[in-house]
Amino acid sequence: MKTPRWSDVTPEALYLNRRQIMAGAAALSLAPQLARAEALTPNTYEEITGYNNYYEFGTGKEDPAANASMLTTSPWTVKVDGMVDKPGDYDLGELLTGLTVEERIYRFRCVEAWSMVIPWQGVTLASLLNKIGVQSGAKYVAFETLVRPEEMPGQKMGILEWPYREGLRLDEAMHPLTLLATGIYGKPMPNQNGAPIRLVVPWKYGFKGVKAIVRISLTDQMPQTTWNMMAANEYGFYANVNPTVDHPRWSQASERLIGAGLLAGRQDTLMFNGYGDEVASLYAGMDLAVNY
């Protein structure tokens, strides 16, 4: 059988209707979270795709929208390695074959204290990890972004150490809220948001959501992560959204909702970005001011 390429599998074709989403959600015990999501008013497509952080394309919020269209996202190969049963260099379509694309409307909170609400499509990272087979002894998942300076002008500058790297503890990676996102608003992932596939961990600061993933590694060591390598006292490995643990240079108690308008003012930051019922137990007994 011919394996479909990523370019053959459009998110539109896999877009689920609301009834299917809620049925699937009930099966995963995510009904409360998604019911709350129904009450969220998503940001516009223009806001979500026009105000971005993606330093491979520049440090300005409008640089990714201006520059990311030059990135070639098909064909796309993802290396799967480390402590897995089925390592290999997978075409993205092959990697996602058999996995269910779901819609998730999540709050999104950048460590810089701005926020949005984004309707993603994607597969759970858990479903992908189950497909590739995590070996016993693996404790973390590490991710890397593409390195291609000829199409990513920011990589010609020493702003960060490339590739952009991120990681999760295995239980965080297996959590049903953790998504590998492939689209927004039913359209394929825009380049500036991390096409063709990026991580979304809604209870963590946005920098955990590594874009344009080309490598997924299972390891027993806590992985090196880009912003932590850059400034360990400002950006921790956990990066859980927490209104009571301030960034050394600014408060995290409140946030600015993009698109709300100047007069709307700021809104309170929610512990775990509002997903505490689902994820607080992952951190039971941990000092979150130490493990920030």
Ligand X SMILES: Nc1nc2c(c(=O)[nH]1)N[C@H]1C(S)=C(S)[C@@H](COP(=O)(O)O)O[C@H]1N2
Residues near ligand X (CB under 6 A): 52-56, 110, 145, 164, 193-194, 206-207, 209-212
Which C-beta is closer to Mo ion: that of 131 or that of 165?
165
CB 274 within 8 A of CB 36: yes
Which C-beta is closer to Mo ion: that of 133 or that of 259?
259
Q: Contact letters (x/-) for Mo ion, 36-55, by CB under 5 A?
A: -----------------x--
Beta strand segments in the chain, E:
77-82, 88-91, 102-109, 114-124, 140-145, 165-169, 179-184, 187-188, 198-200, 213-219, 254-257, 267-268
Least distance in angstroms from the C-beta of 282 to ligand X: 21
10 Å Cβ neighbour count for 76? 21
Instruction: Name the one range near Mo ion by CB under 5 A: 24-32, 60-68, 105-113, 270-278.
Output: 105-113
Tell me phi and psi for residue 64, to 5 degrees: -60, -45
Least distance in angstroms from the C-beta of 92 to Mo ion: 24
Instruction: Name the one range near Mo ion by CB under 5 A: 30-38, 40-48, 106-114, 229-237.
Output: 106-114
Which C-beta is closer to ligand X: that of 25 or that of 125?
125
Please tell me the total number of residues recorded for the chain in this structure.
Answer: 292
Q: List helix spans (H) across 28-152.
A: 31-38, 45-50, 63-67, 92-96, 125-132
54 contact, one of Mo ion, ligand X, none, CB 5-8 Å limit per kind = ligand X
Least distance in angstroms from the C-beta of 110 to ligand X: 4
Least distance in angstroms from the C-beta of 63 to ligand X: 10
Q: What whole-number distance in Å separates Cα of residue 174 and Cα of residue 186?
A: 24
* First-last CA distance in the chain: 47
CA atoms in the 13 A half-sphere facing the CB of 175: 23
Q: Contact letters (x/-) for Mo ion, 107-126, by CB under 5 A?
A: ---x----------------
What's the sign of the alpha-carbon dihedral 185, 191, 195, 201?
A: negative
Which C-beta is closer to Mo ion: that of 53 or that of 217?
53
Least distance in angstroms from the C-beta of 209 to Mo ion: 8
Q: Contact letters (x/-) for Mo ion, 202-221, by CB under 5 A?
A: ----xx--------------
| Per-residue tokens: 185 | 């608003």
Which C-beta is closer to Mo ion: that of 93 or that of 167?
167
Which C-beta is closer to ligand X: that of 11 or that of 209?
209
Q: What whole-number distance in Å separates Cα of residue 7 and Cα of residue 189?
A: 12
Least distance in angstroms from the C-beta of 182 to ligand X: 13
Q: Give CA torsion, residues 6, 75, 147, 55, to 10 deg.
A: -60
CB 135 within 8 A of CB 277: no
Least distance in angstroms from the C-beta of 288 to Mo ion: 19
What residues line the site for Mo ion (CB under 5 A)? 53, 110, 206-207
